Amino acid sequence: MSAFSLRPAGTGAIRLLSSMAVFAFTTFAAVDPFMVEGSIAALVQVRVIWILGACLLFWSTWTRIALHHATAIGMVLCVWTGSGVVLLTEMTGGASSPYWTMVMLTFFTVALVLPMKTWQAALSFGTVAVFYYAWMMGHDATGTNYTWVSSNAGIWLAALVSVWAVSFLDRLRMRETQHLQHLETLNQQLRAEIAEREKVQKIAIRTQQLDAVGQLASGLAHELNNVLMIISGAAETLQRDSSTFTKNTERIILSAQRGGRLTSDLLLFARKGAREDEPFCVDQMVQDVAELVQSSHRGRIDVRYSSPAETCWVKGDVQLLSQVMLNLCLNSINAMNNNGTLQLAIHPTSSTAAEGVTSLTWVQIEVIDHGKGMDAESLQRAFEPFYTTKAPGEGTGLGLSMAYGTIQDHNGTLELESIVGQGTRAVVKLPRIQAPVAAVVRKESEKYPDLSPRCVLLVDDDPMVRAVMQEALRSFGFKVIPTRDGADALTQFQNADPSPDLVILDMMMPVMGGAEAFIRLRKIQPEVPILVYSGFALDQSTRDSFAGGGWKFLRKPFTNNELHAVVSQFFASPATTSTEEGTRKSESSP
């Protein structure tokens, strides 16, 4: 790289200077007739030559030369403009001509506009000053001593001041560059710290979620044992006495549904996943959390729940909001040393907005305990991340912070009221919505399509689950081909004659899981309908990988009626097989 490019100038500065030179040489031609007597042809020729030279330098800023030698072009432009002014000065009266002051203006303008090093400015301005001295002396255009001394001294003084100005500006630019580099370094460090903090916060949030599951584990184990005891006892009674068929089968079904809700609760509070906003009933959500807390702290915490006569609906992620309610309840239980009365209440409220604006309606949820309470300082800092009054190792201080952020993200508010020694009242307010139009429930008398001539490929690794579902599908009229995993399913699908009309596929299996089996089945037969089921909600990446339509999802546990309703939709009409939207277990219920 050339020495002239040690401090490259922007091409914009050179274009500005060359434009100013063209403008000056052109407009000052108007005063030439008043500066000389006789013909001004020589002056016009000089102006034209120097205007063309300035235009040439202007054009050079679009060439490759300007990419590496921009400052050099600027220096040439300075010398070129200055020398042209010197010639015009000598032709219009020498040192007594007012044109010599244009040399000073050239120095000042270049010093301000063109970012040069000190030595580059000294070389450029010194060249013009020396040229002025030599040209005037050589053409005997010095005039009187006074005019010569004043013009010559003015040019050299202007050169010195301009060099000093360039030196000062160069130091400022260097400091600015250093500060910008330092700022960029700090920004990089800050971005790295933010990324690290977000990573730590995600880990801490997961820890908080799992902590909540840990606190519920013992109570849920007790509750699941009760469920299993009811199922086992009812089944054994049926074996001994078939006359109790109706009563005991109802007990088994209800207990299975109760167990399904408990496992859904565990998955709810330990899940990963994106936010899923759906309309839901607040009353049901809070009641489910109340039952969960009651069952997990049986004999120690008395949960009292009250709700209005009218149901209250909001829109949001029911799982996240259920977790908020659970965290608030666990905080209250901890404040009461795991013994006492916990009150949960729901109130529909409204707030008066500005005149002429419709008032907002809210659903207010209260969590009230009679524990140790919080002092003013703790109450003020309660929502700060990582702030906790618990001993080291007993809490992360993220529970209330997460709750506050989640409620705000749902356009709601979370407020705390507390008195030391008397307890705490947490108030959650969420925007209320109108209850959605109720879904039309199929009646048992409604007739489903005839499924008897159709064949279904059933894929599940659990022999007992596979046997139960096989019996259910046969009762619907299906011919069933049972398989134990994805690899076995591919083999059976390719060898079956005729090809199966439907594939029912479990997601969690050894050897080959449901997701991989789905993709491979679709490569073999792109149009085959597929029903996917799992105890876990499908994440977005899995949904994206299931390209195209013709598939549906069921959330375990599900009933035979729900299974019948979904598989019937595949064969009811072509429209129902084109989307994944069909009937399924609600993934938003805690």
| Whole-number percent of the chain with pLDDT over 70 | 81
Task: Work out the average pLDDT over 27-40.
Answer: 81
Between 457 and 263, the more confident residue is 457
Per-residue model confidence (pLDDT) at position 380: 78
pLDDT tens-digit series, residues 555-579 = 877 888 888 888 888 887 544 333 3
d(CA 296, CA 226): 12
d(CA 272, CA 295): 24
Per-residue model confidence (pLDDT) at position 190: 92
pLDDT tens-digit series, residues 358-378 = 556 899 999 999 888 888 887
Per-residue model confidence (pLDDT) at position 429: 92
Secondary element (H or E) of residue 32? helix 32-35
Per-residue model confidence (pLDDT) at position 582: 38
Per-residue model confidence (pLDDT) at position 445: 39
The pair of structure tokens assigned to 386 is: 């990582």
Between 535 and 590, the more confident residue is 535
Per-residue model confidence (pLDDT) at position 52: 93
* CB-CB contact of 458 with 504 (8 Å): yes
Q: How confident is the model at residue 431 (pLDDT cuts 50, 70, 90)?
A: very high
d(CA 415, CA 269): 23
Name residues whose C-beta falls within 8 Å of residue 144's C-beta, 6 or more positions apart in sequence: 95, 96
Q: Is pLDDT above 60 for 438?
A: no
Q: Is pLDDT above 50 for 439?
A: no
Q: Is pLDDT above 50 for 357?
A: no
pLDDT tens-digit series, residues 96-150 = 888 888 888 888 888 888 888 889 889 988 898 899 889 888 888 887 888 888 8
Task: Work out the average pLDDT over 253-280.
Answer: 65
Q: In what order do the strands lie in the sheet with 360-369?
A: 301-306, 340-351, 360-369, 423-431, 413-419
Per-residue model confidence (pLDDT) at position 359: 58
d(CA 560, CA 557): 10
Per-residue model confidence (pLDDT) at position 541: 77
Helix runs in 139-277, H state only: 145-240, 245-270
Q: Is pLDDT above 70 for 218?
A: no
Per-residue model confidence (pLDDT) at position 275: 60
pLDDT tens-digit series, residues 10-29 = 688 888 888 888 888 888 88
The pair of structure tokens assigned to 543 is: 């949904």
Q: How confident is the model at residue 504 (pLDDT cuts 50, 70, 90)?
A: very high
SS (H, E, C) 103-140: HHHHHHHHHHHCCCCHHHHHHHHHHHHHHHHHHHHHCC
Q: Is pLDDT above 80 for 345?
A: yes
* CB-CB contact of 430 with 366 (8 Å): no
Q: Is the pTM of this model over 0.75?
A: no
Per-residue model confidence (pLDDT) at position 395: 45
Q: How far does CA 126 lie from the centroid of its chain?
A: 58
Q: Is pLDDT above 90 for 458?
A: yes
* CB-CB contact of 128 with 83 (8 Å): yes
The pair of structure tokens assigned to 160 is: 């010195």
Q: How confident is the model at residue 346 (pLDDT cuts 50, 70, 90)?
A: very high
Burial class, 325, CB count within 10 angstroms (exposed 0-12 / middle 13-18 / buried 19+):
buried
Q: Is pLDDT above 90 for 231?
A: no
Of 364, 370, 288, nearest to 323 by C-alpha is: 288
**Four-point Cα dihedral 309, 409, 586, 544, nearest 10:** 160
- Cis amide prior to 308 (ω within 30 degrees): no
Per-residue model confidence (pLDDT) at position 211: 65
As a whole number, the mean pLDDT across the chain is 79
pLDDT tens-digit series, residues 384-420 = 765 565 554 444 444 577 778 888 888 899 988 888 8
Between 571 and 216, the more confident residue is 571
Domains of the chain from N-terminus onward? 3-187 (no CATH), 273-431 (3.30.565.10), 455-577 (3.40.50.2300)
Q: Is pLDDT above 80 for 302?
A: yes
Per-residue model confidence (pLDDT) at position 289: 85
Which one-letter amino acid corresponds to residue 229?
M
Question: DSSP letter string over 336-377?
Answer: TTT-EEEEEEEEEEEE--STTSPPEEEEEEEEEE-S----HH
Q: Is pLDDT above 50 for 587?
A: no
d(CA 468, CA 474): 10
Task: Work out the average pLDDT over 487-494.
Answer: 89
| Whole-number percent of the chain with pLDDT over 90 | 9
Question: How far apart, in Å, are the Cα atoms of 308 and each of 345, 364, 434, 493, 494?
Answer: 9, 11, 15, 54, 58
Which one-letter amino acid corresponds to residue 515?
A
User: How many residues in the chain?
Assistant: 590
d(CA 272, CA 270): 7
Of 91, 109, 104, nearest to 19 by C-alpha is: 109
Of 258, 269, 394, nearest to 326 by C-alpha is: 269
Per-residue model confidence (pLDDT) at position 246: 77
* CB-CB contact of 280 with 588 (8 Å): yes
Q: Is pLDDT above 60 for 159?
A: yes
Per-residue model confidence (pLDDT) at position 265: 56
* CB-CB contact of 508 with 514 (8 Å): yes
pLDDT tens-digit series, residues 323-336 = 788 888 888 888 88
